[in-house]
Amino acid sequence: MKYTQATLNHLEKILDEAGYIIRFERGTFQSGYCILEEKRIVVLNKFLQIEGRINTLVDIIIQLKIDPEPLSADARHAYKALVHRPEAAVK
């Protein structure tokens, strides 16, 4: 996976289309993020660099139960590529 702004935008689009709000805040997050399931909000540590943001969003997306059907074709393709990676099966 490439650590570019375009990759970050694809990951943010998946969460956005799944109904999650992404916020970048200061804080002492254990692993760089906090998920508020009931409100569908993902809070990332705003001090993470692009590589950290991408890795964190990948971890979050794999954890969440996202229905790929309502996603746009691009977001659905990116989501399925993420969850069907060999590394994703290990987690």
Token reading at 19: 């109904």
Mean pLDDT of the 51-75 span: 92
Over 90: is that where the pLDDT of 79 sits?
yes
Residue-wise pLDDT tens digits, 1-19:
789 999 999 999 999 999 9
Question: Could you please report the per-residue DSSP string of 22-40?
Answer: EEEE-S--SSSEEEEGGGT
- Domain membership of residue 45 as a residue range: 5-90
We report the CATH number of the domain holding residue 53 as 3.30.2010
Domain count, the chain: 1
pLDDT at 90: 43
What's the rounded Cα separation, in Å, for the pair 90 and 29? 23
Q: Is the pTM of this model over 0.85?
A: no
Q: Identity (one letter) of the amino acid at 66?
A: I
**CA–CA gap between residue 7 and residue 1 (Å, rounded):** 8
